Chains A and B, each alone.
Chain A
């Protein structure tokens, strides 16, 4: 007979909000149902109200792990990227969200964890350990990360500089990174707006990159963030 191989949920025994904010969080049936329903609703919302246009869906890998990186100028960004994934991949996708914005109050933490499946990144106390845990989770789950390497939303709609954290997640690994460019999200919901305007949103998905030969050290991380920053900017250029 098989040896006993059950073990408690990764966030078992934690207080409710701490459990939702844990990087070891594991989704149960309720969260899976909530995320599937949320995915269908957001996809319908973006298609109806924002005439969502997606280019380059063929570049998406057929299975996890991989990382989606994009420019960041609106709270809609993560929702658009998540709903662009087919359902079988969406349930493995974790948008990386600002912990201090989404994981401090119970209602927001519940929304972020149970509907968006977001994982927190604490901007002021994000140490190397958190990135190591994420790097391990990416491969062992396997998972899909939706990441905005600028670290915060652009206040003027123009892309900012990518931080090196994304490099730390993928340097020296076979995990593909897919650059994406979002346009129309800033016009639809800029950082200072409370309600969205119904402008068209355009998501361009670029060719995957693998950084297996890039050393997992500071220079390598910077190199990766520069390459990806260039890829995302290039996707944003008008054709021709």
Chain B
């Protein structure tokens, strides 16, 4: 049924995790306060619909995956724009949306050169079209917000969608998403178990150095294990590369989380939205993916390439 031998173990693992979580909650949540318990259950129930929503496009194939990540990018941008108020800058905001749509189209077409040219082209367009209002007051803010939003939600998440052009994208993307989400859970759990020193209290007061290091070690180990199957028979199957990729994934995942925390703290808000009970908004859930895509894409691309044996320029 699946093209890659890792798919069945991955899906089974996700199923087992979802089945085990309520048991763990029931056993371990006695010590937790009422509020934390309610929040954890709300998060779990949200995962019950989030997981199929993530799995379905990946299982449906390349175009469904690229389209789903494109839609995710647009909704993440929407949350950012409404939280910051940037949506009122309609022209520049429309350029950011256009940039995300073009990145998605370039990924769907497997047009690597256009995909890589778009960041500079769209940033230039933002800088130029921000002039149209002929209102220098606030020009730097308009441009800076537009560029930041496009780079984070267009380029950052866009790299995740380009992975779908690879022959083995299904196990690769599912492994990355699984490890990124486990990275969050492990940082939370390790932090509760042996986190003492705060990581960066000004940005995110609940994150601890212990949690961060625990997640780094455990996520690296899990990704190395999955990666040994994913990259079997290639240069990336060596322990050095597997560990480097695991460290990259865990670190960039945590940094994405911190970047969105910093944006929220700057705005004085707790969550970026209220669409996912227990989590907040889409960005509160998928913030960790923002830098993982570019980091792993270019690492894998440097040694193996991404989708080099697949037809390019499919549509245009």
Question: Which residues of A come within 8 Å of B, CB atoms?
Answer: 1-2, 4-9, 12-16, 19, 26, 28-30, 32
Nearest-CB distance from A140 to chain B (Å)? 14
Q: Establish whether residues B87 and A16, one from each chain, have CB atoms under 8 Å apart when the complex forms.
A: no
Most buried by A among B86, B274, B275: B274
Chain B neighbourhood of A30, CB < 8 A: 78
Instruction: State the CA gap A15–B42 with chains docked (Å).
Output: 15
Q: Establish whether residues A8 and B138, one from each chain, have CB atoms under 8 Å apart when the complex forms.
A: no
Nearest-CB distance from A17 to chain B (Å)? 11
Given A26-B88, A29-B94, 16 more pairs with CB closer than 8 A: A2-B138, A6-B86, A6-B141, A6-B145, A8-B83, A8-B267, A9-B82, A9-B87, A12-B82, A12-B83, A13-B274, A14-B274, A19-B274, A28-B82, A29-B90, A29-B97
Q: Establish whether residues B274 and A1, one from each chain, have CB atoms under 8 Å apart when the complex forms.
A: no
Q: Establish whether residues A8 and B274, one from each chain, have CB atoms under 8 Å apart when the complex forms.
A: no
The residue that A16 contacts in the complex, of B84, B90, B138, B274, with Cβ under 8 A, is: B274
Q: Establish whether residues B141 and A4, one from each chain, have CB atoms under 8 Å apart when the complex forms.
A: yes
Q: How large is the interface on B (under 10, 10 to 19, 20 to 34, 35 or more residues)?
A: 20 to 34
Chain A neighbourhood of B201, CB < 8 A: none
Q: Establish whether residues B81 and A28, one from each chain, have CB atoms under 8 Å apart when the complex forms.
A: yes
Instruction: State the CA gap A19–B88 with chains docked (Å).
Output: 17
Question: Which residues of B come within 8 Å of A, CB atoms?
Answer: 78, 81-88, 90, 93-94, 97, 137-138, 140-141, 145, 267, 269, 271, 273-275
Instruction: State the CA gap A64–B301 with chains docked (Å).
Output: 55
Chain B neighbourhood of A12, CB < 8 A: 82-83, 269
Residue of A nearest to B270 (CB): A13
Instruction: State the CA gap A189–B141 with chains docked (Å).
Output: 50
Instruction: State the CA gap A13–B83 with chains docked (Å).
Output: 8
Instruction: State the CA gap A19–B79 with chains docked (Å).
Output: 13
Q: Establish whether residues B275 and A16, one from each chain, have CB atoms under 8 Å apart when the complex forms.
A: yes
Chain B neighbourhood of A26, CB < 8 A: 87-88
Residue of A nearest to B74 (CB): A30
Chain B neighbourhood of A28, CB < 8 A: 78, 81-82, 87, 93
